[in-house]
Amino acid sequence: MSSKKVEGSSSPAIRRDPYEVLSVSKDANDQEIKSAYRKLALKYHPDKNANNPEASDLFKEVAFSYSILSDPEKRRQYDNAGFEAIDADGMDMEIDLSNLGTVNTMFAALFSKLGVPIKTTVSANVLEEAMNGTVTVRPLPIGTSVSGKVEKQCAHFFGVTISEQQAESGVVVRVTSTAQSKFKLLYFEQDSSGGYGLALQEESEKTGKVTSAGMYFLHFQVYRMDSTVNALAAAKDPESAFFKRLEGLQPCEVSELKAGTHIFAVYGDNFFKTASYTIGALCAKTYEDTTEKLKEIEAQILRKRNELRQFETEYRKALARFQEVTNRYTQEKQTVDELLKQRDSIHSSFSVVKTPSGNNLSNGSSSKAQGEESKGDGESAGEEGGSESRDKSKRKWFNLNMKGSDKKLG
């Protein structure tokens, strides 16, 4: 597979073949890829190369290559079509807190508090101590839990010993924090040299009033949710965040454990303070119904993810059609408004022509005369009313005099 130039910088860098970066063959198995990644990641880790700026780029290149080859689907896409088939913008980006400095760490903490998912690397000291086998491992028997506090960028290691029967039934390891601390749950595999190499890691997620992370070794494919995928989609197009929500499902690389002792660790991922946690290990034998429910819900979610991929295509077409008819509606409304406006203008053209000003004055004089005539009629009526009123007064006075005369005569 050929290399590819990365556009957009003054001196474009060459994106190298992931197999070349990790120094593995095209038919390398998962274990070979994982082993190569561990060695190179530790070699170029920013903690160990503070004075070498090139090491940081090499570390990112190693992490980028591993993120492709460790994912069966991305590896298949790359093998078939190269980098063009890989969504580089959606690849995981991690930061090393030990090299951020106080100010940048404060900004990172603020973004994390606001809900922006920020991935951090496991410190080189922890990885190196584990690789050398110099870490202290505390026992964590199946069916028990342990609580503690771990300093930032440090880890507490636990050994979970499982029997053949427990391995066959399945094992679950979960960590919770009622203080809503930020942490990582790590799983290490033992190397031939006697040390421990990082194989899996789960970022803590807020679920309800706690933060939690879990690993489920139940003999069927279990998926973890990578929230950074959805966050990147939302930043580009908030509407697409819904359709990309289930794209964050990533298959866990390990689905079962063999009998023996397995090493887990709780890594303090808080930006400033210690992380409070409770870690527990249990056998799935006593949770058979719950295990079946998880298996079924995982299958339903995968089916729904495929359905959403198809539905998004339909939705985009319908949305484009809706935009088209909405634009048509706006245009038609403007056209109708303009036609009615022209119609009103034509209606207003049908108006009576004004007569000369002389006739208007004549009409005014006639009206005035009629007003005066009406006034004269009113005055005549008033005079008649006054005469009748005087006649009534005379009769009343005459009657009074007559009554007075009758009394005198009597």
Distance, CA of 171 to CA of 173 (rounded, Å) = 7
307-327, pLDDT tens digit by residue?
A: 998 998 999 899 899 999 999
Rg (CA), the chain: 46
Q: What dihedral do alpha carbons 76, 79, 80, 83 form, nearest 10°? A: 100
Look up the CATH architecture of domain 124-287.
Answer: Sandwich (2.60)
C-beta atoms surrounding 218 within 10 Å: 20
* Residue 126 tokens, joined: 């922890």
Return d(Cα 271, Cα 15) in angstroms, integer. Answer: 32
Q: What is the spatial distance between Cα 150 and Cα 155, in angstroms, rounded to a whole number?
A: 6
Domain 18-120: give its CATH architecture.
Orthogonal Bundle (1.10)
Span 221-257, pLDDT tens digits = 888 877 665 555 555 666 777 887 888 788 887 889 9
Q: Is 387 helix (H, G, I), strand (E, B) or coil?
A: helix
Is the Cα dihedral 250, 215, 182, 34 positive or negative?
negative
Which amino acid, 374?
S
pLDDT of residue 136: 95
Which pLDDT value is given to residue 62?
85
What DSSP element (H or E) covers 61?
helix 53-69
| Structural contact between residues 204 and 213, judged by C-beta atoms closer than 8 angstroms | yes
Please list the residue range(s) of the chain that carry CATH number 2.60.120.380. 124-287
pLDDT at 395 (0 to 100): 52
Residue 190 φ/ψ, nearest 5 degrees? -80, 130
At 71 the pLDDT is 78
How far is it, in rounded angstroms, from Cα 160 to Cα 142?
A: 7
Can you give the pTM of this predicted structure? 0.60
Token output for 75: 């590896």
**Low-confidence stretches of the chain (pLDDT beneath 70):** 1-14, 87-120, 227-238, 271, 355-410
- Work out the burial of residue 40: count CB atoms within 10 Å of its CB; fewer than 13 is exposed, 13-18 middle, 19 or more buried: buried
Contact 266, 155 (CB under 8 A): yes
- CA pair distance 396, 405, nearest whole angstrom: 14
Delimiting residues of CATH 1.10.287.110 domain(s) in the chain: 18-120
Angle between helices 72-81 and 53-69 (to 10 degrees): 100
In the chain, the amino acid numbered 327 is: N
Residue type, 180: Q
d(CA 127, CA 189): 12
The strand pair at 275-283 and 144-150 is best described as antiparallel
∠ CA 129-131-135, rounded to 5°: 40
